[in-house]
Amino acid sequence: MESLFQVSDLPQIVGPEEAEGYLAHMGIDTAAVRDALGSGELAARNLTPFFPVTAPGFSRWSYTVGTLREELQDTGHWRSEDRSNRPYLRHLSRSYTLSVLGGNTETGSESPTACPNVQKRKGRATEEFVLGGQLAFPEIVEYLSDKTDPDAPPPGTWFLIYYRDDGELRSEISLPEGIKGGRFTGWRIRVILPAIDYKTTMRRPLDAGEHDVEFTVEERGRTA
């Protein structure tokens, strides 16, 4: 399968050791993220083969979204929003949004050439949202946010992406370049979170893939 990623456009990688400090500039508490991922894991693990095959994946995503939105909104930095049935978080004073989705096997890899992506191609509606820029931020807000904290990550539409492997759950919070053909075309920044070890778990949850809602990615040009 031909990759949509261009090797010359490698993203900035923030490793697990620096992730907590980096995300703190966005008002993201990594403990809240870990709680959310753990909530999703428990929800998926509690389901038996008698449930629909889509249930574990959807339950993992739903509980991850719900816990993350509740805990980050409680910090006073974020507000939970739903637009066109798309649950996400919006920062109250800076031009960030944060959504959750299931990724592929390369999610959470520290390799600069890794190609994390959605498990399922997104539909035409997603690309229309991208072209319409429905989550675009006014330039004045972006300018002011950059001046508020010189160490703050760039504004944009960020994603918490996770992948449940056999023995661990890998995740990252990353800023995409854009989307084409229902898949991400590349990444500007990838913040790799510490993997959660589940090797001692009695059984692997019956996840059947990623089951999230449509999302919007604003195409952004890379700056020097």
Domains of the chain, by residue range, sit at 33-178+193-197
Q: In whole angstroms, what is the distance from residue 97 CA to residue 68 CA? A: 13
Q: Residue 82: which of 66, 101, 103 has the closest Cα?
A: 66
Q: Note the pLDDT tens digit of each residue in 88-136.
A: 999 999 989 999 999 999 999 999 999 999 876 655 554 554 433 334 4
> How many Å apart are CA 176 and CA 122, to the nearest integer?
14
CB atoms within 10 A of CB 140: 9
Which 8-state DSSP code applies to residue 93? Answer: S
How many angstroms separate the CA atoms of 115 and 144, rounded? Answer: 32
pLDDT for 31 beyond 50:
yes
- Tell me the three state secondary structure of residue 179: strand
Strand partners of residue 164: 169
Considering the chain, what is the average pLDDT of its residues?
Answer: 81
The CA dihedral of 181, 182, 185, 191, to the nearest 10 degrees, is 180
What pLDDT does 96 receive? 92
Q: What is the pLDDT of residue 139?
A: 47
pLDDT score recorded for residue 119: 76
Contacts of 161 (CB under 8 A, 6+ apart): 100, 101, 102, 103, 107, 108, 116, 171, 172, 173, 174
What is the pLDDT, as a whole number, of residue 172?
98
